[in-house]
Structure 1
């Protein structure tokens, strides 16, 4: 393996994120990174069985095993069941994996964490720079609320909007926002219910807002995207970052150094 050359694979190449990542890679001028393999579930191969990457044709496979010798880092935006299968294969063959899939249950999350003892994993509900900055801002605001004993006079609501075909609700990002608040509250021995509201409509790319409501005033933090490019760019950045990292569980906070 050339230590300075990263061979990528994408799981879910015919999906929204798979197509976005491919578009970025096709337009990206890089000397040390190459897309070497793509997979998609069998039922999605009826219409499209090949993709074009840098003027080359790549055959879309239905099983990660079929391309196991062609890549070093897998970017996976599929569904929990498919991701868990791919994760196990990556563990067996010592491959690094970027997981953008959301909607895992507790058992699946536990398996992912346990697997990180053997291979390098980045697990993130959102790969955009903006949302990860928002997570840091949210933690600081929540600390101010706790230190000033404002929690009893305030309601906190998280509102997330996505396209109508998104399955998990609330979104993984909304749950990450909620968990930031809950973890901060626990440090101050505070228990408070944080409400999440989900909207599924049209072809929305994604919007998340956190509304802090006082008596007579409100503070609202909002993040939205106009396309999937920020997520695709972030996942590629994550793949480059993790390439030389040892086994462990990482997230975008590590990648972005924030």
Structure 2
């Protein structure tokens, strides 16, 4: 089975990958936590008969310990995580949201010498939704677009990385960048026709909900994706890792993994 290294292993998504790895025909051989983590040194499977893999610091990971790294840590750790993947000579799947423009440039630079896949959301459903949003935006160029997103109360960034990615897909459908069309998080004042607005909700234990609404007078279309179990994200991340392991250097996306461009050409 593929050997996985998880960065941010004690977080919500890190724990989801650890819990589901064997079911997905992978094994977690490295579980990285921050220098400040209270979980350091604990076994990742506390109820197992033997301790097995324990939570480690990045500097303790050795060559050949993993086949690929999956990053579910925080944005501020990205540079160090790229350096770790380069030291180990393994591909890197980055699932961290809230990255800055400069950090996206770091990913592009890393992709020149190693396989890197960036996914603000590792759900296959969201990947398909982005394609539908781009198509709908292109077909309905004059509609107002509103992106609603809801997550648990502890989520740090807003709009979510997935909401921003959906906004980018909507803007791409109109041949523009999101910065040209974004109305930001909706508040007071009139909105410009055809702009892309964002609405945010943070409450309780909502895992993830996104709706993209296209509206003009007399008609609207809503495209919605809801997640009820984090296992979906874990499954997508491991699927991405398996695919990336066999790719040459480059910066990839979930759409690349699913070969959506090829599928669209076949349909057309």
TM over 0.5: yes
- TM-score normalised according to structure 1 size: 0.88
Match of 1:159 in 2: 148
Return 5+ residue gaps in structure 2 as ranges.
Answer: 182-193, 261-268
Match of 1:130 in 2: 125
Which one of the candidate residues 52, 71, 87 is aligned to 2:45? 52
Contact 1:6 1:243 in 2 (8 A): no
Inter-CA distance 169–48: structure 2 relative to 1 (3 Å threshold): farther
Aligned residues: 243
Deviations 1:235-256 (A, max 9, x none): 0001110111111001101112
Match of 2:86 in 1: 91
Match of 1:209 in 2: 211
CA RMSD of aligned residues (A): 2.1
Question: Residues of 2 paired with 1:180 and 1:46: CA distance?
Answer: 38
Match of 2:165 in 1: 176
Inter-CA distance 82–140: structure 2 relative to 1 (3 Å threshold): same
3-state SS, counterpart of residue 186 of structure 1: coil
TM-fit CA distance, 1:9 = 0.5
Contact 1:12 1:40 in 2 (8 A): yes
Match of 1:41 in 2: 34
3-state SS, counterpart of residue 222 of structure 2: strand
Question: Residues of 2 paired with 1:125 and 1:47: CA distance?
Answer: 27
Which one of the candidate residues 4, 7, 13 is aligned to 1:8? 4
Match of 1:73 in 2: 68
3-state SS, counterpart of residue 36 of structure 2: helix
Deviations 1:135-178 (A, max 9, x none): 111111112113xxxx1xx3110010001111111111101110
Within 5 Å, give how 1:109-120 maps onto structure 2.
109-120=104-115
Runs of 4+ in 1 over 4 A off after TM superposition: 53-56
Question: Residues of 1 paired with 2:147 and 2:41: CA distance?
Answer: 38
Match of 1:255 in 2: 257
Match of 2:221 in 1: 219
Return 5+ residue gaps in structure 1 as ranges.
Answer: none
Deviations 1:69-98 (A, max 9, x none): 211200110111112211122123322111
Question: Residues of 1 paired with 2:21 and 2:86: CA distance?
Answer: 26
Contact 2:43 2:55 in 1 (8 A): yes
Question: Residues of 2 paired with 1:13 and 1:7: CA distance?
Answer: 14
Match of 1:20 in 2: 16
Contact 2:70 2:95 in 1 (8 A): yes
Question: Residues of 2 paired with 1:26 and 1:34: CA distance?
Answer: 6
1:142 pairs with 2:144:
no
Contact 1:161 1:200 in 2 (8 A): yes
